[in-house]
Amino acid sequence: MCGVSGPACWHDPLDDGLWERELPRAIRSPDTGWRLAAMNARTAPNIFVREGDGISTLVVEGDWTAISIAGLSGHVLSPSNLSFSSDFGNLGRIDSAGALAILTLAPNAAFTADLPANLADLFALVGSAMADRDVPPIKTPPFHVRLGQKVYRAVQEIGASARFLGQLEVALMKSLAHPKRMRLIALASSIQKAGFDALPLIAIMTFFIGAVVALIGSDLLKTLGASELVVELVGISVLREFGVLIPAILLAGRSASTFAAQIGAMRMNQETQAMKVMGIDLFDALVVPRVLALLVIMPLLAIVAMLAGLAGGLVVSWGILDVSPTYFAERLSAAVDIRHFWVGMAKVPVLAIVIALAGCRHGLSVRGDVEDLGGRVTVAVVQALFAIILLDAAFAILFNVLEI
C-alpha cells in the first residue's frame, strides 16, 4: 500500500494499469548514515552521508536523470555537521532534474570536491534558479496608487505628443522654406501606400454606410409622413460626419500602424542611428514625407468617401422610396447647403496630422525588441482612433456653438 505510512513507490508511465513498485525506505546504519536507493541496482541514484572521525561526507552515486529519479522519494539528509564535504566519484549521468533533486535532499551540502567545470556550472545554475523561487510575490499597489500612476503616464504621453508636434512644426516650416529639403520619392511612396491603396476600401465602406443611413432613416421618416426628408438626412450625415470620419478611422488602422511598424523596424535594425551618424535629420527623412502624404491624400479620400456615401443613399432611396436619381440630385443641391461640405473638409487636415503624428512618434519610440515594436504599433492605432473620436466630438460642439 503506497502512502505516507507505507513504502515509497512509483508508477510506470508506460503501463496502462499504472502498476506500483515499492522503493526501499531510507535506511540508517552506523557506517553509512542515511541512505536512499531507487530503481535498479545498476543505475540507481544513491545518496547518503558517510560519517567518520567527526567528518561528514555526502556521497552521490548512480545516474541522476529525469528518468532515473522519476520515483525517487526520501528525507532531507541531516548529518551531524552543519556543513559537510561531498564525494561524486561514482556519479553516473546527471541532468538539471537530478541536480535539483540532489540540492533538495542535501540543501546544506558544501560541494568541496574537485568537480568538473561542467558539473560545477550545472549546480550553480540550478542553485541560482532555486534561489529565484524564494523571491516573494510582488504586491499589487492600492487602487489610488494605480490610478495616480495611470494619470501620470497619461500626462507624460500628452507632453511627449506636444513636444513631438512642436518638432514637427519646425521641420515642416523648414521644408516649406527650403523645398529642396523635401524627399519627393519618399513623399510619392507614402501617398501611394497610404492613399491610393486604401481608396477602394474607403469607397466601399462609405457606400454601404450611406445605404444603411438611408434605409434606417426611410423607415423612421415613413412613420412621420416625411419620407422625402431622407435626402437631407443622407446628405448632411455623409458630408459632415461619415465622409470624413470613416476615412480617418480606416487610415488610423492602416496608415498609423504602417508608419509605426516601418519606423520601428528601422530603429530595431539601427538604421536610424546610421542616419544620425551620416547627418540625416530623422524628421526630414521619416516624419515630414508621411505627414505631407496624409495632408495631400486625405482630402481626396474624403471627397471620394462623400460621393460613395451619397451614391449608397441614392441607391436605397431609389429602390425603397422610388426616389429617382434626378429628384435625389435636385433635392440634395436645393436642401443641403454647401457649408456642410466645408464643415466636413475643415476636419481633414487636423485628423491627418493626428494620424501621422501617432504613427511616427511611436515608431521613433521603439527601443529595439519585437515585443516593444508590437506594443508601440498597437498604442499608435489606439491613440489615433481615440484622438479622432475626441476631435470629431470637439468639432461638433464647436460648430454647434458657432451655429455652422
Confidence of residue 249 (pLDDT cuts 50, 70, 90): very high
231 near 360, Cβ under 8 Å?
Answer: no
Give the number of other Cβ atoms within 10 Å of residue 142's Cβ.
9
Q: What is the mean pLDDT of residues 305-329?
A: 89
Q: What is the mean pLDDT of residues 115-136?
A: 72
pLDDT digits (tens, 9 = 90+) for 327-344: 888 888 888 889 999 999
pLDDT exceeds cutoff 50 at 14: no
Percent of the chain exceeding pLDDT 70 equals 82
Q: What is the pLDDT of residue 237?
A: 92
Task: Tell me if residue 74 falls in helix, strand or coil.
Answer: coil
DSSP 8-class letter at 337: -
Q: What is the pLDDT of residue 76?
A: 63
Percent of the chain exceeding pLDDT 90 equals 27
40 near 26, Cβ under 8 Å?
Answer: no
Strands 55-64 and 46-52: antiparallel
Which among 21-35, 140-154, 274-288, 375-389 has the top mean pLDDT?
Answer: 375-389
pLDDT exceeds cutoff 60 at 83: no
Q: What is the mean pLDDT of residues 201-216?
A: 92
Q: What is the pLDDT of residue 245?
A: 93
Confidence of residue 205 (pLDDT cuts 50, 70, 90): very high
Query: How much is the mean pLDDT over the chain?
Result: 80
**In Å, how far from its chain's centre is CA 320?**
46
Q: State whether the Cα torsion 390-393-395-397 is positive or negative.
A: negative
Q: What is the mean pLDDT of residues 141-154?
A: 88
Q: What is the pLDDT of residue 242?
A: 92
Q: What is the pLDDT of residue 32?
A: 41
Q: What is the pLDDT of residue 360?
A: 92
pLDDT digits (tens, 9 = 90+) for 20-51: 333 333 434 444 444 444 444 447 788 877 77
Q: What is the pLDDT of residue 138?
A: 64
Quickly tell me which residue has 510582488 as its cell.
138
Q: What is the pLDDT of residue 54?
A: 67
pLDDT exceeds cutoff 80 at 397: yes
pLDDT exceeds cutoff 80 at 127: no
Which among 62-71, 272-281, 295-304 has the top mean pLDDT?
Answer: 295-304
Q: What is the pLDDT of residue 114?
A: 64
Q: Which CATH class is domain 46-132?
A: alpha beta
Q: What is the pLDDT of residue 134?
A: 52
Q: What is the pLDDT of residue 186?
A: 83
pLDDT exceeds cutoff 90 at 312: yes
Q: In the chain, what are the domain boundaries?
A: 46-132, 182-402
Across 55-59, 82-86, 154-158, least confident range: 82-86
Letter for the amino acid at 224? L
pLDDT exceeds cutoff 70 at 381: yes
Confidence of residue 306 (pLDDT cuts 50, 70, 90): very high
CA distance readout (Å), 250 to 214, 288, 296, 388: 22, 21, 16, 11
pTM: 0.64
pLDDT exceeds cutoff 70 at 219: yes
Q: What CA–CA distance (Å, rounded) separates 337 from 208?
A: 23
Q: What is the pLDDT of residue 110?
A: 60
Q: State whether the Cα torsion 331-336-342-347 is positive or negative.
A: negative
C-alpha cell at 1: 500500500
pLDDT exceeds cutoff 90 at 355: yes
In this predicted model, which residue has the larger pLDDT, 114 or 269? 269
pLDDT exceeds cutoff 70 at 15: no
pLDDT exceeds cutoff 80 at 3: no
